[in-house]
Amino acid sequence: MGLTQNKLKPFCLFLFSLLTLTPLAFSEIFLEEHFEGGWKSRWVLSDWKRNEGKAGTFKHTAGKWPGDPDNKGIQTYNDAKHYAISAKIPEFSNKNRTLVVQYSVKIEQDIECGGAYIKLLSGYVNQKQFGGDTPYSLMFGPDICGTQTKKLHVIISYQGQNYPIKKDLECETDKLNHFYTFILRPDASYSVLVDNKEREFGSMYTDWDILPPRKIKVKNAKKPVDWDDREYIDDPEDVKPEGFDSIPRQIPDQKAKEPEDWDEEENGLWEPPMIPNPAYKGSWKAKKIKNPNYKGKWKNPWIDNPEFEDDPDLYVLKPIRYAGIEVWQVKAGSIFDNILISDDPEYARSMVDDYFAQHRESEKELFAEAEKEKKAREDEEARIAREEGERRRKERGDRYGHRDRRHRYKRHHRRDYMDDYHDEL
């Protein structure tokens, strides 16, 4: 039985809505980790550096000022250690699809020096030996050291060599939770977002030194003799007025009067002082007009680089099989959470929006309260230290004062004895 006209319209609307929603059905999530129940079965803590006593561990916690106390992550737990942990994921390739890597990190400690980045790994990885020398395909996230280094790493591996992004990207340094997002598209364009705000964008062709540049400047190029780069020129029809150069710069002040006590025999003939001439206009200059022959500012021309050989798969990483955290920190306390590896930027954006809508304000309030309590403790410790210092200074003063009194008594008694001795003599 065929569709009637009355039934055809709703069916078309349904079909249209189905087609518009179809792309969402093909989006894929390769890893979404919120470190909820059973997370230890999915993540393997590495033994790298453990025999040397340099391996740290992770604590499952929501932190000191959690926006959501039930949303726990894994926190670096021991100071001055290496931390390495990884999860195996179904192997996937980002060929012909967008890659989205996103996670949150809250650096609760005064980190001093340490990383807070994550890595995507390819090939086979012995997860119990995963460490700093394990090859990776992508490294992304903050690296802080002192007051100078506040770097946001984006390092891509290409044909076995690691290439850092050429742009200087800064990470956040406060102690609140922040989301870092890296998006890599099939046209080799990319975006870096922090808390859903685009921090940087560009292309792998220009922002990494992976391939030679497409274009290069001509060496030793010289501006053509007939190149006119004067945007404005003198108006050839503008003529200097007759007598313009004879206008004096200064003229006698006609309003000045000879002083009554002026003595010509003694002071000479009185002359009025000179004042600026309002008719004087300085050196004559012709009016400027647009140069009809202006060709623009000359620039060194670009040509195709003979050494450039395109790679249409420049953006393609080796098939990803693991996600890992491998960092060194002087002071521990960074909480990693909300890890997402997907091909859907909109889903990643919604995850961040949901967090900020539901938990950001409560996190800020708890952090402000924690800072207030911390300051109160520091003030109290400073007060106790001052009182202890005053007590010790007073004790030293009393002790030294008693010794001085004894010393003065001995000197006085000795002087009296010597006086009596001399009297007897």
Is 234 labeled as ligand-binding? no
Contact 118, 154 (CB under 8 A): no
**How many other CB atoms are found less than 10 A from the CB of residue 84?**
28
Rg of the chain, C-alpha, whole Å? 40
Helix/strand/coil percentages in the chain, nearest 5: 30, 30, 40
What stretches of 228-374 adopt beta strand conformation (E)? Answer: 232-234, 250-252, 274-276, 288-290, 302-304, 320-329, 334-342
Q: Can you spell out the DSSP letters for 282-296? A: -S--PPEEE-TT---
Q: For 133, left (φ over 0), alpha (ψ -120 to 50), or beta?
A: alpha
User: Would the annotation count 209 as a binding residue?
Assistant: no
Cβ atoms of 136 and 84 within 8 Å: the answer is: no
Specify burial of residue 165 (Cβ count, 10 A radius: 0-12, 13-18, 19+): buried
CB 65 within 8 A of CB 367: yes
Residue 283 phi/psi, 5° resolution?
-70, 140
As separate numbers, helices (DSSP H) first and strands (DSSP E) second, the chain gives 5, 22
Q: Which residue type occupies 68?
A: D
Beta strands 138-145 and 149-158, pairing class: antiparallel
Is 347 assigned to a binding site?
A: no
Does the annotation flag 117 for ligand binding? yes
Give the span between the Cα atoms of 20 and 126, in whole angstroms: 43
Which one, of 143, 179, 147, 144, lies nearest residue 164 by Cα? Answer: 143
Q: Is 326 annotated as a binding residue?
A: yes
- Tokens 């006085």 locate to 412
Distance, in Å, from the CA atom of 57 to the CA atom of 132, rounded to the nearest integer, reads 15
Q: Residues forming the annotated binding site for an alpha-D-glucoside? A: 117, 119, 136, 143, 326
Q: Residues forming the annotated binding site? A: 117, 119, 136, 143, 326
